[in-house]
Amino acid sequence: MALPEPSTSGRFGEFGGRYVPETLVPACLELEAAFREAWADPGFRTELDDLLRDYAGRPSPLTECHRMSEELGVRVLLKREDLNHTGSHKINNVLGQALLARRMGKTRLVAETGAGQHGVATATAAALLGMECMVYMGEVDMGRQALNVFRMRLLGAEVVPAVSGSRTLKDAVNEAMRDWVATVENTHYCLGSVMGPHPYPWMVREFHTVIGTEARAQCAALLDGGVPDVVTACVGGGSNAIGIFSGFADTDAELVGVEPAGGAAVGRGVPGVVHGMKSYLMQDEFGQVQEAQSISAGLDYPGVGPEHSHLSAIGRARYEQVTDAEVIDAFQLLSRTEGIIPALEPAHALAWISRDRAALAGRTVLLNLSGRGDKDVGQMMEILG
């Protein structure tokens, strides 16, 4: 099965939809119409492809990890999204949304960010296109990702702390959505993952299918026309995972998303509504949203994109959980064996491979290395002493 378009109501099975205040319904409808028109326009697609190639540095390479594979007994291939401009997969989606916003006549971008990579990418695109930019970031995340806060400000963005709730990603989303409600005439909300009200989960997925398309062709060249046995990626909201899954959903490859144990929306959640969508959501017996916990600021989110909930519900993908301690070990493992320092987010997927190495022995696993670890080195210095 290829990943399909959502229904006319913006649903993947029972998940998704458009749960927003009445004041935002016209904005969502306008965005869907504009995206459909742009995505069918060869001129828009060419402009985006040119930027992805000449500015972001695509295609990102496929790297085989010989030393680490030997140690694990598993053949590990990395899709190197860490080598994109700004250091993660986020630039794919942001360039697409920024071009779309300009096409719609918007002059200002607002965004939420957890680890800071989406915020950096949004600030980068705004600088490139001459747009105003405001990024909301949880106060806790601003402390542990101070380097990315400086990068955003250097790029001309205003970074605003979210001081409510857990002061992390969930709260940054709340603040960004409040801003959008108040400024919708001239502002585009550049949402950073496959979450939120329709059309965001579908639109963001489409901007990230470039990952899966490239990886499918690269794996075919390396594996004599074949596909990996397993395709894996970390999952918070889930954009990097859905991007790479999109290239292999119609194959026999097993799709495995890896969540933090303290933020396992698929693993521990139940269907609920948050941030404009129905999806699996960590909530208590009274339906109140529970706080997520992760060593990684980018995965510190109590929900998950609705398409991931659907893929889990129909059995096409499965979702594993790993602990912070396992992530710390995986972060060091890739650095030590391959000279590649991963972001803490994709280190979750590597932690699952390492933990399940016996069950994966002799198999080929493709991991989406969605970001590089520069932003996490300070945090890891404190943890590792």
Is 28 a catalytic site residue? no
Residues 271 and 242 in one domain: yes
For the beta carbon of residue 361, count every other beta carbon within 10 angstroms. Answer: 11
86: three-class secondary structure by DSSP: coil
Task: Reduce the secondary structure of 155-182 to three states and give it as a string.
Answer: CCCEEEEECCCCCCHHHHHHHHHHHHHH
Domain around 150: 11-51+90-200
Percent of the chain with pLDDT strictly greater than 90: 95
Residues 174 and 260 in one domain: no
For the beta carbon of residue 319, count every other beta carbon within 10 angstroms. Answer: 22
pLDDT confidence of residue 1: 58
For the segment 259-277, the average pLDDT, to the nearest whole number, is 95
Catalytic one of 28, 85, 89, 118: 89
Catalytic one of 28, 65, 133, 219: 65
For the segment 133-160, the average pLDDT, to the nearest whole number, is 95
In a 10 Å sphere around its CB, with 0-12 CB exposed, 13-18 middle and 19+ buried, how is residue 321 labelled? buried
Residues 222 and 328 in one domain: yes
Rounded (to 5) percent helix, strand, coil in the chain: 50, 20, 30
Average pLDDT, the chain: 96
CB 211 within 8 Å of CB 276: no
Q: Is the pLDDT of residue 305 over 70?
A: yes
For residue 332, is it within any domain? yes
Residues 160 and 302 in one domain: no
Q: Is the pLDDT of residue 285 over 90?
A: no
Residues 343 and 365 in one domain: yes
Phi, psi of 81 (to 5 degrees): -65, -15
Residues 252 and 320 in one domain: yes
Q: Amino acid letter at 332?
A: Q
Is 190 a catalytic site residue? no
Percent of the chain with pLDDT strictly greater than 70: 100
Residues 110 and 43 in one domain: yes
pLDDT confidence of residue 265: 95
Domain count, the chain: 2
**Tokens encoding 323:** 């602990």
* DSSP state letters, 255-295: EEEEEEGGG-HHHH-EEEEETTEEEEE-B-TTSPBPPP--S
Residues 112 and 77 in one domain: no
- Please, which pLDDT band fits residue 165 given cuts at 50, 70 and 90? confident
Residues 235 and 363 in one domain: yes
Residues 133 and 37 in one domain: yes
Q: Is the pLDDT of residue 359 over 70?
A: yes
Q: Is the pLDDT of residue 239 over 70?
A: yes
Tell me how far apart the terminal alpha carbons of the chain are, to the nearest angstrom. Answer: 47
Sign of dihedral through CA atoms 253, 355, 263, 142? negative
For the segment 318-332, the average pLDDT, to the nearest whole number, is 98
Q: Is the pLDDT of residue 297 over 90?
A: no
Look up the CATH number of the domain holding residue 372.
Answer: 3.40.50.1100
For residue 2, is it within any domain? no
